[in-house]
Copies of this chain bind each other. A is one copy, B any other.
Amino acid sequence: MDIIRLVRSAASLTFVLMIAAAGPAAHAAESAGLIGFTAEAAKQQRRLEADYRAKLSAEDQSQWSEQLTASAHHAGSAQTRRNVELIAAAFREWGFDVAIEEFDILLPVPLERSLELLAPTTYKALLEEDIVDGDASSAERDAVLPSYNAFSPDGDVTAELVFVNYGIPEDYEVLERYGIDVTGKIVIAKYGKSWRGIKPKLAGEHGAIGALLYSDPADDGYAKGDVYPVGAFKNASGVQRGSVMDMPLYPGDVLTPGKPAIKGTRRLSLDKAPTIANVPVLPISYRDAEPLLAALGGEVVPTQWHGALPITYHIGPGPAKVRLKLAFDWQRITIQNVIARLRGSEYPDEWVIRGNHHDGWNHGAADPISGMVALMSEAKAVGELAQAGQRPKRSLIYAAWDAEEPGLIGSTEWVEKHLKELDAKAVAYINTDGNGRGFASVGGSHTLEAFFDEVLNSVSDPQTLVSVAERLRAAIAVNGTPERRKDMESRETLRIAPLGSGSDYTPFLQHAGIASANLGFGGESAHGSYHTLYDTFEHFVRFRDPGFQYGVALADMAGTATLRLANAEVLPFRFAGLVDNLQLYLKEIEELAGKQREDAERINKLLREDSYALALDPQKPFGPPGAKKAVPHFNFAGLKNAVATVATAATRLDAVLQPGSIAPAVLEQVNRELYRSERTLTAEEGLPGRQWYRHQIYAPGFYTGYGVKTLPRVREAIEAELYDQVDGEIETTAAILRGFAAHLESITALLVSG
């Protein structure tokens, strides 16, 4: 037992003793037991969890994985139909009411893909992944999707090439200092540092007429480790597929924003669909990228831009000239979500929703089947317990989403279709997706932060046999930055990450305002197969989670959370954690503004004093940056006051949320208002320029894609230098928080009066 554990146990012990001296209070029960359960109910719940855990089987997961990854199973494929039947049949067998909910969505697939280097040398890109020894799946050709970026437009473009590093905003600032304009050019960008869809979006915004994406071996290839099939990492032929739909605007079917893609919904015409990428874009292997990059002239790249190919990287433009030709079948396909319901014994109209997508890019053994089989493990055990009389109090919905890969389509359409009912009934949504060996990872709504800390403390790590919380704490203690370590030591619970985007929680959290979480394991499983032809069962069992022990751990973690949410007397929403995180975000944003102001002042001063002209090499074309907009001081007071108001309300409410002490007459209403509290963090009008995103605390970044932006109105206004809008966005956000605080106060009033 380590010292941290000793200290923490000792603290709990003291606390228990103090309470014991004061008599068996409900508060003590909660502290010693589980949030939302009386002491007695907590004991019962823990027994249930032990029964549950005993039913989880790695062997099951391995068998299902082998079946589900037998062939490529992208949305619309034959294997997907088979998988949907298999999953639906299994759920039925385990006692669930199963529906297959279908949507008709737009999903382009390639008809023609060609890429040629025309000058100064010639090369025709292979655009083909190798068959490798020991991986029979990699030999499959007919059923697999070739490498492409879904929602690239058709195009036939010929132009000089420009290397734009990762193709993110700061890279274009560097290009500007080199005097390089990508207008009329085709850009080639490395994968990484942002979600891929940002790269063609920015390229188009800067005037480029096409984009190539590739994984540099520095980031994902031989410089990271031995390549497949010797090791896990991306070999010279591997290509990361993926959607480039403009998901930060809205995810889901591109033709039916905000509405379900079903009969009767009016669809946009294809040329009006705003989330289709604005330039043709194709992902390629580093084998295909190398001759193109080697043919570039112009300036040598800045040191940090260099990759691991054995060449000197140049920026261009030209003399490399390429022709990129892409044509797609803009087909409408039917996608199928499997929705399995288990009616709650006491609160059937309160829904705890669990989901994982079932579609992959090809065989998808890691992404998404490793998460899918963990969800199936969980559903099987929960179903069997229910059949044996241990039915959860609230209704459970287990969902297997289709068409996540092209743009969270299955989950988004489903949420859009059931929005009203979800608004009333959804308690929480727990998502999983690809899984691997390593450390627990929890992102989610901070109203559930304390709850998930308890879950992390209840789940054992299969390799070290301590709780996954303890393993996480050790990892932070050993590898964390001093700031991270200090932060950990200053808090009772582990900090959970805010959610941006990248999986099916997005429509639940950011559109419907349902408290959500995303759970998984990783960090000790090698990457490299992501969205390639090599995300196969063969690769998975060698490099990701041999023996599916972390598949079982994930089922344990997600199932424990699901069953506690399902059975808690008082739902485990607690608000101190949210307050603490809001304070952190506010501090970050103030620091961001301060840093931006300081940088602008410094750069403008250096420009005025002509320091760049003296400091920069006069023989190089790298010039000074442009003058910066002066950054005014913003009035953060409204937001600070609002957070303080939330803090007061949270303290009052958390103190009275005592199971066993709430009058049955108000209990159901209290629980409903607890889970509906997340709804009050949303606004009907959404975020500026993107109405679909309603959550006012968490959003994917408009220019990061997956990366989260907390308090997005304020943060993104500052980042985008829209300084005259900042005070307004502060007030809008503050009003949301005041509304949230009022909602909490109304629950407290219910409890105090009740």
Q: A-side interface residues toward B, CB under 8 Å?
A: 2-4, 217, 222-227, 231, 233, 300, 303, 306, 308-312, 437-438, 461, 463-464, 466, 470-471, 474-475, 477-479, 524, 605-606, 608-619
Q: Judge whether B309 and A310 touch: CB under 8 Å.
A: yes
Chain B, Cβ-Cβ closest to A463:
B618
CA distance A222 to B308 in the complex (A): 10
Known: A224-B303, A524-B617, A618-B464. A611 touches B477 (CB 8 A): yes
Task: List, in ascending order, chain B residues with CB within 8 A of A605's CB.
Answer: 3
Known: A224-B303, A478-B606. A611 touches B312 (CB 8 A): no
Task: List, in ascending order, chain B residues with CB within 8 A of A466's CB.
Answer: 614
Task: List, in ascending order, chain B residues with CB within 8 A of A303's CB.
Answer: 224
CA distance A277 to B225 in the complex (A): 34
Task: List, in ascending order, chain B residues with CB within 8 A of A225's CB.
Answer: 300, 312
Known: A463-B618, A474-B615. A610 touches B2 (CB 8 A): yes
Q: Judge whether A231 and B310 touch: CB under 8 Å.
A: no
Chain B, Cβ-Cβ closest to A465:
B614
Task: List, in ascending order, chain B residues with CB within 8 A of A309's CB.
Answer: 310
Minimum CB–CB distance from A525 to chain B (whole Å) comes to: 10
Q: Judge whether B222 and A311 touch: CB under 8 Å.
A: yes
Q: Judge whether A470 and B3 touch: CB under 8 Å.
A: no
Q: Judge whether A614 and B470 touch: CB under 8 Å.
A: yes
Task: List, in ascending order, chain B residues with CB within 8 A of A479's CB.
Answer: 615
Q: Judge whether A614 and B471 touch: CB under 8 Å.
A: yes
Minimum CB–CB distance from A132 to chain B (whole Å) comes to: 16
Interface of A is mostly: loop
Minimum CB–CB distance from A289 to chain B (whole Å) comes to: 13
Task: List, in ascending order, chain B residues with CB within 8 A of A231's CB.
Answer: 300, 312
Q: Judge whether B3 and A609 touch: CB under 8 Å.
A: yes
Known: A231-B300, A308-B310. A474 touches B611 (CB 8 A): yes
**The 10 A-B residue pairs with the shortest CB-CB distance in the complex, in nearest-first order:** A2-B609, A474-B614, A478-B615, A474-B611, A310-B310, A475-B615, A474-B615, A222-B312, A524-B617, A225-B300
Known: A464-B618, A611-B2, A619-B524. A312 touches B474 (CB 8 A): no
Q: Judge whether B217 and A310 touch: CB under 8 Å.
A: yes
Task: List, in ascending order, chain B residues with CB within 8 A of A475's CB.
Answer: 614-615
Minimum CB–CB distance from A312 to chain B (whole Å) comes to: 5
Minimum CB–CB distance from A137 to chain B (whole Å) comes to: 23
**20 other contacts beyond A225-B300, A478-B616, with CB at 8 A cut-off?**
A2-B608, A222-B312, A223-B306, A224-B303, A224-B312, A310-B310, A438-B617, A461-B614, A463-B618, A463-B619, A464-B614, A464-B618, A470-B614, A471-B614, A474-B610, A477-B609, A478-B606, A478-B611, A478-B612, A479-B615
CA distance A10 to B524 in the complex (A): 62
Task: List, in ascending order, chain B residues with CB within 8 A of A224's CB.
Answer: 303, 312
Task: List, in ascending order, chain B residues with CB within 8 A of A610's CB.
Answer: 2, 474
Task: List, in ascending order, chain B residues with CB within 8 A of A613's CB.
Answer: 464, 474
Chain B, Cβ-Cβ closest to A461:
B614
Chain B, Cβ-Cβ closest to A236:
B310
Chain B, Cβ-Cβ closest to A466:
B614
CA distance A611 to B474 in the complex (A): 5
* Most B CB within 10 A of own CB, among A437, A461, A474, A614: A614
CA distance A157 to B696 in the complex (A): 68
CA distance A706 to B619 in the complex (A): 31
Q: Judge whether A312 and B477 touch: CB under 8 Å.
A: no
CA distance A231 to B3 in the complex (A): 58
Minimum CB–CB distance from A297 to chain B (whole Å) comes to: 10
Minimum CB–CB distance from A456 to chain B (whole Å) comes to: 14
Q: Judge whether A310 and B222 touch: CB under 8 Å.
A: yes
Task: List, in ascending order, chain B residues with CB within 8 A of A312's CB.
Answer: 222-227, 231, 233
CA distance A475 to B609 in the complex (A): 12
CA distance A477 to B614 in the complex (A): 10
Chain B, Cβ-Cβ closest to A217:
B310
Minimum CB–CB distance from A478 to chain B (whole Å) comes to: 4
Q: Judge whether B300 and A226 touch: CB under 8 Å.
A: yes
CA distance A240 to B315 in the complex (A): 29
Chain B, Cβ-Cβ closest to A226:
B312
Tell which of B4, B227, B464, B617 touches A609, judged by Cβ atoms closer than 8 Å.
B4
Task: List, in ascending order, chain B residues with CB within 8 A of A437's CB.
Answer: 619
Task: List, in ascending order, chain B residues with CB within 8 A of A471's CB.
Answer: 614-615
Minimum CB–CB distance from A362 to chain B (whole Å) comes to: 24
CA distance A478 to B437 in the complex (A): 45
* Most B CB within 10 A of own CB, among A223, A608, A609, A610: A223
Q: List 28 A-B contacts (CB under 8 A).
A: A2-B609, A2-B611, A3-B605, A3-B608, A3-B609, A217-B310, A222-B310, A223-B306, A224-B303, A225-B300, A225-B312, A227-B312, A231-B312, A233-B312, A309-B310, A437-B619, A463-B618, A463-B619, A464-B614, A464-B618, A470-B614, A471-B615, A474-B610, A474-B613, A474-B614, A477-B611, A478-B616, A524-B619
CA distance A238 to B2 in the complex (A): 54
CA distance A660 to B217 in the complex (A): 69
CA distance A311 to B227 in the complex (A): 10
Task: List, in ascending order, chain B residues with CB within 8 A of A233's CB.
Answer: 312
CA distance A679 to B618 in the complex (A): 43
Chain B, Cβ-Cβ closest to A303:
B224
CA distance A618 to B226 in the complex (A): 19
CA distance A303 to B618 in the complex (A): 35
